[in-house]
Structure 1
Amino acid sequence: MATPAMMLKFHTNLLLTIGNQTLITHKSKQFTKNSLARLFGTNGIRGVFLEDLTLEFVHDISLAIGTFFRRGPILIGHDGRDSSPVLAKIVCSSLNSIGIDCKMGGLVPTPALEFATRNLGYSGGIMITASHNPPKYNGIKLAASDGVEVSREDELRIEKIYFAKKWKKGYKIGRTDREPQIISSYVKGIVSHVNSKKIKARKFKVVLDLGNGAQAAAAPILCKELGCKTFLLNEKIDGQFPGRGSEPTPSNLSKLSSTVLNHKADLGIAFDGDGDRSIFCDEKGQILTGDRSALVLTNHLLQKNPGSKVVTCLNSSNLTEQIASMTSSKVIRTKVGSVEVSRRMVPEKALVGFEENGGFMYGKHNQVRDGSMTLALALDMLASSGRSMSEEMDLLPKSYTTKDKFSCTREQARKVISELKKEHKRYDTTDGIKILLGKEWIMVRPSGTEPIARIYGESDSQENLELLMSRYTKKIKSILERIH
């Protein structure tokens, strides 16, 4: 899977190049098995607008997607990036040209589009977004008719169609109309899964850091429906993400923390650019890691639904198994990536799915990451228990996780992983490498969306975790210096 620095370049002669290696030309129409999975990364297709995501490429990949879906109507939505409306129009026009009808949903969060795709009866959904990437990036995420991201196998099928250039032929021009019900359908669906009466009775005060992103179109409406008094940060949708950037991280959420304290709010929450991930702040102003907030919500939901299934990635906390065992529930591990978790949830009929990065999935609503659904579940938990968020967190067993990243190419990351394998006996190479060190673990994997590799770790104390991360960061740096 390509990182943005290695993203495919599409020139007027349709010469496809990664680095210095030519994989396919329009004239020869040859492609190899290795050229597959080069367009889709960990979560959709992403690249720099007009460099990686040229208008020609978006047109052609739209034809491939339309050929895959075969029929309409297809629901189209986009985030608040400056280039998103342009790309959405190209997608619609391209689909119309091969006879497929579209409905344009406009600016909506990704999970709202996914929910509407299923709930309103569409053949598929296309979201124009680059999620948390910087403003110059954009991308394409696909939802199948069930409202869940298309599988890895279907991504390969779409790529095969793209490279072969064998598009569906339309015998008439398709139409593009508006779809006005996405947000209302989405909010109504979320509210149906929580005890709104109890939530309203608590009269919660909630701080929403909307990050200048797409949840500004939905989260405030949801909070109003649930009787919350809201305080808004970065509420103006802006494709440059001037407030605190498109990705919520502990380092850029100080204003969320201080606003929670100043207003004596019960909860704070920050969303990423397209609104499918969320990071919480408790009433004491403490920013919670995605892992810890996912665990506390999982514990709450499993207590209500014992004997359920939880799907999560290899890089999330080992406490997941401990919490699940208390309700005779089962944990299923996958590779990193929301597609991996979502698509595994469907056949397993899992109640919960999550990633360590703040992506939480509630199976009874939709098997996708959903920032607003996660907020509603947190409010439902607090309303049901009568406890504060910090008190809920204190009930969890103690464990400490963290993550970092380092710049490298995918080839360099592979060499790092190879060297680490030589130094250890207990490891899992399902996705990168997860080194098992008794109660501790370290995981290294190349990003599917950026020219970096990520390093994750877990230990039984903050001090031990810092020592663990420091040791392996130095080790990786040494390996990179040797292979340059």
Structure 2
Amino acid sequence: MHERAGTVALPEDLIDIDDVISAYYDVEPDPTNVDQRVAFGTSGHRGSSLDGKFNEAHIVAITAAIIEYRKSQGIDGPLFIGRDTHALSEPAWRTALEVLAAAGVDTRIDSRGSYTPTPAVSVAILGANGAPGALRTQGPGLADGIVVTPSHNPPRDGGFKYNPPHGGPADSDATGWIAARANEILEEGWHRVPRIIGSSLLDSPSIQEFNYLKYYVDQLDTVIDMEAIRNAGVRIGADPLGGASVDYWAAIAERYGLDLTVVNPVVDPAWPFMTLDWDGKIRMDCSSPYAMASLREAMTPDADGNTPYDIATGNDADSDRHGIVTPDGLMNPNHFLAVAIEYLFTHRPQWSDQAAVGKTLVSSALIDRVVGAMDRTLVEVPVGFKFFVPGLLDGSVGFGGEESAGASFLRKDGTVWSTDKDGIILALLASEILAVTGKTPSQLHREQVDRFGASAYARIDAPANREQKAKLAALSPEDVSATELAGDPIIAKLVRAPGNDAPIGGLKVTTEFAWFAARPSGTEDVYKIYGESFKGGDHLAEVQEAAKALVSDALS
């Protein structure tokens, strides 16, 4: 834990914007250096220009590869492109446009010349392809998209994601092909990729404007009971954390007549107003109590027990994550997911009674207990929102959520809304829950604890080199010889997700009262251990130590 975690950033914590942008253009990556090649993780290609991991060459190559990929798939409709507020996002957005325009790709940019949340791009893609209603995922004229964002990553980073016609994150087949082709282009000579450069770029006939904000905001009442929120007079404080949702929250307040205050409307790519995360870095993680320290402090009750807002919310830089603050404090993401699931499946009468609940296998087992009590089907998948896309598309999954505060759900009529994470609707849902039930989500969580038990949940990191991480990702149940975990018999050893039989890229071990999952990091020399115990914090510590020993034995 950094000694200044949770305190406002100092000048020495801030990036030099000019240095970061200059490095984007001046640093040319070495395609023979594995750390400087294109690599898509669970959320696209990410890295810093200062490290030779996110530079002009990367974006030229990735965009050219996407153009080839969409042509190979018969995708010839509009490509919707958005960007967040990171310093590298606008340069990368412009580079991508230069390549797209030269190729004559019908490209839709924000009509305000501003920022676009990830969910707004997803909703726009799906709308162009016929949603809600007669949604098409095959045939001529299909739309797809690109989002330029590293999500909640530090200010020095950039990110680049591809969303195919289903509107959600591309699967590993697509990203694997795109990354491989992009690296070939880097090796062959990315300078040879055709581009339209100069002031005439935005006048290119293939580049058209699209009002992402209006299209998204005008449809919110099809997914959230905005009337209930307005009529109840819920006082909302929405903090964009300097991200892409900043103008969206103001528009939502005006469009639906809500008592909503944009807590901090400032956009600055250095994020000087942020409080430091647990490790001393600036990180727009709206699920972190340290990154959310300012909003938590603003919601501290006064001597009379009053707070300025009934519900306060935060979003990360591209608005695909949510943080919920009530007068009780910042909610653990798992706790809010469990409350949201129970509320939605008891307050959406038009949803199919066969609609399932989707969760990642490192999310809390409290969700399992809540879903079981509602007699609903639980679909447990590996880490990655892409695994929820098919179910959200056809309505067979009503809600898909990740432990990292990312989720989306269906419209009120049971049709698809977004197939990427949507932090805005999850934040609004907290206010709907209060408006309809008269209780905050944290109060409802305490009721769930009374019924299903309290759990201790945490994630820690343990060191692992490249070879060990590869071995961890390839483990089989037979590699684990242990029969008990922290004093309880092991009842399952999983290397494939029970919900879709997809490889989890690691290991999950469960007992009646606890579980842990170990996955290699895609960016650091560590593996991540997620753990939970319904026997309390001391038992969780035992689970974590046993997990490290068990994984170490399996890797030896």
Query: 1:20-55 CA distances to partner (integer Å, 9 max, x unpaired)?
Result: 9xx9xxxxxxxxxxxxxx621111111212611221
Residue pair 1:207, 1:260 contacting (<8 A) in 2 also: no
Q: Please tell me the residue identity of whatever aligns with 1:296.
A: V
Q: Which residue of 1 aligns with 2:173?
A: 153
Deviation at 1:186, TM superposition (A): 1.0
Task: Note if 1:134 corresponds to 2:154.
Answer: yes
Cα distance change of structure 1 residues 470 and 309 upon mapping to structure 2, 3 Å threshold: closer
Q: Is the 8 A contact 1:404 1:455 kept in 2?
A: yes
Q: Describe the shift of the 1:41–1:302 C-alpha distance in structure 2 as closer, same or farther (beyond 3 A).
A: same
Q: Which amino acid aligns with 2:453?
A: K
| Aligned length in residues | 456
Aligned to 1:73: 78
Partner of 1:292: 335
Q: Deviations over 1:254-289 (max 9, x none)?
A: 3212212353421121211211001211222x2111
Q: How does 1:23-172 map to 2 (within 5 A)?
A: 39-49=39-49, 51-70=52-71, 71-105=76-110, 106-120=114-128, 123-163=143-183, 165=185
Distance 1:126 1:387, change over 3 A: same
Which one-letter code corresponds to 2:109 in the other structure?
Answer: M
Q: 1:350 offset after TM fit, Å?
A: 1.0
> Closer, same or farther in 2 for the Cα pair 1:113/1:347, shift >3 Å?
same
Identity score, percent: 21
2:476, 2:495 within 8 Å by CA — same for their partners in 1? no
Q: Are the aligned partners of 2:46 and 2:160 in contact in 1 as well (CA < 8 Å)?
A: yes
Which of 415, 440, 453 does residue 398 from structure 1 map onto?
A: 453
Residue 14 of structure 1: how far off its partner (Å): 6.6
The aligned counterpart of 1:273 is 317
Alignment of 1:420-459 (within 5 A): 421-425=479-483, 426-430=492-496, 431=504, 432-459=506-533
What is the CA deviation profile of residues 388-428 of structure 1, one whole-angstrom value per residue up to 9, with x for unaligned ones? 23321122123322222345444333456769944524421
1:141 is paired with a residue whose SS is: strand
Matches within 5 A, 1:68-467: 68-70=69-71, 71-105=76-110, 106-120=114-128, 123-163=143-183, 165=185, 175-242=205-272, 243-244=274-275, 245-248=283-286, 249-262=288-301, 263-284=307-328, 286-304=329-347, 305=351, 306-343=353-390, 345-346=392-393, 349-364=396-411, 365-396=417-448, 397-400=452-455, 401-406=457-462, 408-414=464-470, 421-425=479-483, 426-430=492-496, 431=504, 432-467=506-541
SS at match of 1:391: helix
SS at match of 2:354: coil
Q: Is the 8 A contact 2:46 2:159 kept in 1?
A: yes
**Residues 347 and 464 of structure 1, relative CA distance in 2, 3 Å threshold:** farther
Task: State the AA in 2 paired with 1:424.
Answer: A
Tell me the distance in 2 between the aligned counterparts of 1:327 and 1:414: 39
Name the CA shift for 1:13/1:258 in 2 (closer, same or farther; >3 Å): closer
Distance 1:434 1:89 in 2: 42
Judged with a 3 Å threshold, the aligned counterparts in structure 2 of structure 1 residues 338 and 287 are, in CA distance, closer, same or farther, namely same
**Kept after mapping to 1: 8 A contact 2:35/2:53:** no
CA RMSD of aligned residues (A): 3.3
Could you tell me the TM-score, scaled by structure 1's length?
0.84
The 1-side partners of 2:523 and 2:265 are apart by 26
Question: More displaced, 386-395 or 468-477?
Answer: 468-477
Distance 1:415-1:160 versus aligned 2 partners, 3 A rule: closer
Give the equivalent residue in structure 2 for 1:6.
none
One-letter amino acid of the counterpart of residue 398, structure 1:
G
* Structure 2: runs of 5+ lacking an equivalent: 1-25, 130-141, 276-282, 302-306, 412-416, 484-491, 497-503
Deviations 1:223-243 (A, max 9, x none): 444443334444312222221
Amino acid aligned to 1:429:
V
CA contact (8 A) 1:307 1:327 kept: no
**How many Å apart are 1:455 and its aligned residue?**
1.5
Residues in 1 aligned to 2:150 and 2:125: alpha-carbon distance in whole angstroms: 19
Distance 1:116 1:409, change over 3 A: farther
Give how far 1:348 is off.
Answer: 6.4
Given that 1:399 and 1:458 are in contact with CA atoms closer than 8 Å, whether structure 2 keeps it comes out as no
Aligned CA distance change for structure 1 residues 144 and 13 (closer, same or farther; 3 Å)? closer
How far apart, CA to CA, are the structure 2 residues paired with 1:220 and 1:468? 47
Amino acid at match of 1:427: K
Q: Write the distance in 2 (CA, Å) between the matches of 1:366 and 1:410.
A: 35
Q: Provide the secondary structure at the position in 1 that maps to 2:515.
A: strand
How far apart, in 2, do the equivalents of 1:451 and 1:178 lie? 43
SS in 1 for 2:218: helix
| Aligned partner of residue 108 in structure 1, secondary structure | coil
Residue 472 of structure 1: how far off its partner (Å):
4.2
Moved more, 52-61 or 298-307: 298-307
Following TM superposition, by how much is the alpha carbon of 1:440 offset from its aligned partner in structure 2, in angstroms? Answer: 0.3
- How many angstroms apart in 2 are the aligned matches of 1:433 and 1:470? 14
Asked if 2 retains the 8 angstrom alpha-carbon contact of 1:361 and 1:369, the reply is yes
Work out whether residues 42 and 447 of structure 1, in 8 Å CA contact, stay in contact via their aligned partners in 2: no
CA distance in 1, matches of 2:525, 2:212: 34
Following the alignment from structure 1 to structure 2, what is the Cα–Cα distance between the partners of residues 358 and 89? 30
Q: 469-478 or 366-375: which moved more?
A: 469-478
Bigger mean CA offset, 310-319 vs 250-259: 250-259
SS at structure 1 position matched to 2:242: coil
The alpha-carbon deviation at position 299 of structure 1 amounts to: 0.5
Query: For residues 449 and 176 of structure 1, do their structure 2 counterparts lie closer, same or farther at Cα, with a shift above 3 Å needed?
Result: farther
CA distance in 1, matches of 2:517, 2:240: 31
Residues 199 and 233 from structure 1, CA distance in 2 versus in 1: closer, same or farther, beyond 3 angstroms?
A: closer
- The farther-off stretch of 291-300 and 325-334 is 325-334
Q: CA deviation at 1:11?
A: 8.9
Which one-letter code corresponds to 1:237 in the other structure?
Answer: V
Describe the shift of the 1:112–1:336 C-alpha distance in structure 2 as closer, same or farther (beyond 3 A): same
* Residues 477/233 of structure 1: CA separation in 2 closer, same or farther (3 Å cut): farther
Counterpart of 1:239, as a letter, is P
SS at match of 1:154: helix
Give, in angstroms, the shift of residue 217 of structure 1.
2.6
Alpha-carbon separation, structure 2, partners of 1:355 and 1:159: 25
**Structure 1: how far apart are the matches of 2:523 and 2:409?**
25
